[in-house]
Amino acid sequence: MNEFKFSCPHCHQNIEATPEYVGVQINCPSCQATIVVPEASAAHVPRPGKLTKAPSTVHYAATTPVMAAAMARKARKPRVGLYIGLGVGVVVAVAAIILVPKLLDKYHEHKEAIAAEQAATNAPPKPPPELTADEILKKVGATYKKLTSYSVQGVTIGTIDVSQVNPAVKGLQSVTTKLSLRLGRPDLYRVEWEREAGTQHIKGAVWAAGKGDFVHPATVTTKVKDRQAALNAAAASSGTLGIFIAALFFDETNSLAAVLKNYAKTNNETLNGQKCYVLTGQIGSQKLLFWVRKSDSLIAQAELILGGKVDEAAMAGLTLVQKAQMEKASKLKGNFIETYENIEMNKVLSPGDFETAFPPSATPQPRRQRDSRPGRPGRGMTE
């Protein structure tokens, strides 16, 4: 069988092997050391001894021809694991193609939702909802009612056609009135005005500084019975619209709705940098508009449009003088527009802050009486 012999390099045990074992790693049958069967030509036996063909354990190679053949077949076995791995990789790749876009979409949707939430958090607050005309009027009344004091400067610009009342006056006439309004609780007020109409220059005032209610409509100071009488005199003499504010402050009507008819909200405007509601209504035969600031529900501007038709129902119960005044007012054409600025609220004021330059009391205006005899002028009498 062409056996050849070699010795273990560790224990020098003689070992016999056949050529097919050349290069095979075995364990020495004597010392169990791991050795590789050398080539037959390299086999060396250092000293004679008993030859042993005892079986030994082979590492990384078979110890018999059958096992060697089996090992060779195993080496040639197809790489099933590699193929399986490749198949799994293909499945994963296909799944990635199908699922990754969807996952990315969900991820972006999540990020967009977070971004939208952050934007909503950092966004400025939404403006309050628009109010109805009734709600605006109630807020205006409540705002003035809760103030402890109120001061404002106003300017009234009037453009009037009086030709139907006085045919001698032709064309449009301009009237400018400066208004100063100061109000304080419980019953302190001062309304002063200075009006220029053509060559006329008229100053007037009504006030109460703790010593009674006084009126100085033109040249004479008169004490009247109460605040209402004084404010009525101011409205008639000054032609200003600030008297409505005084009425709201002192809660005479509690709301413009009590004096306005057919009121409504028309539109929104910006006036001197302030966003305003614009309300319209009718008082007597004339149209009245108010600009109400959205920020604090205070009146920023008012406009009176003249020339409306007289309401016969509104005339019922009026005196002859009042009816004549309404009919005269209905013949006037044009408008007055009054703008307010330098508004101050809730300042601590004393009665002295409501004094005027006019005397606090004065002798009532004398009333002249005719002599009973014809052709003789009467002598002046003091009431």
Instruction: State phi, psi for 55 to the nearest 5 degrees.
Output: -65, 145
Distance CA(185)–CA(325), nearest Å, equals 32
Q: Residue 234: is its pLDDT beyond 60?
A: yes
Closest CA to 227 of 254, 258, 189: 189
- What's the burial of 15, exposed, middle or buried (CB within 10 Å: 0-12/13-18/19+)? buried
pLDDT digits (tens, 9 = 90+) for 62-114: 444 444 444 444 444 455 555 555 555 555 555 555 655 666 677 677 778 88
Query: At a CB cut-off of 8 Å and minimum separation 6, what does 114 contact?
Result: none
Distance CA(303)–CA(147), nearest Å, equals 24
CATH topology for 133-364?
Answer: outer membrane lipoprotein receptor (LolB), chain A (2.50.20)
Which pLDDT value is given to residue 103?
Answer: 63
Which pLDDT value is given to residue 314?
Answer: 66
- Residue ranges of domains in the chain: 4-75, 80-107, 133-364
pLDDT digits (tens, 9 = 90+) for 240-287: 888 889 988 997 665 677 778 888 998 899 999 999 999 999 887 788
Range in 22-26, 147-151, 325-329 the model is least confident about: 325-329
Mean pLDDT, rounded, of the chain = 77
Closest CA to 230 of 255, 211, 254: 211
User: Helix 242-249 crosses helix 133-146 at what angle (to 10 degrees)?
Assistant: 70
User: Helix 227-238 crosses helix 242-249 at what angle (to 10 degrees)?
Assistant: 160
Give the distance, in angstroms, between the CA of residue 282 and the centroid of all CA atoms in the same chain: 33
Which pLDDT value is given to residue 20?
Answer: 80
Taking residues 218-227, what's their average pLDDT? Answer: 86
Taking residues 338-344, what's their average pLDDT? Answer: 95
pLDDT digits (tens, 9 = 90+) for 57-70: 433 334 444 444 44
pTM for this predicted structure: 0.60
Which pLDDT value is given to residue 254?
Answer: 57
Distance CA(255)–CA(245), nearest Å, equals 10
Q: Residue 206: is its pLDDT beyond 90?
A: yes
Sign of torsion over alpha carbons 43, 44, 50, 52 = negative
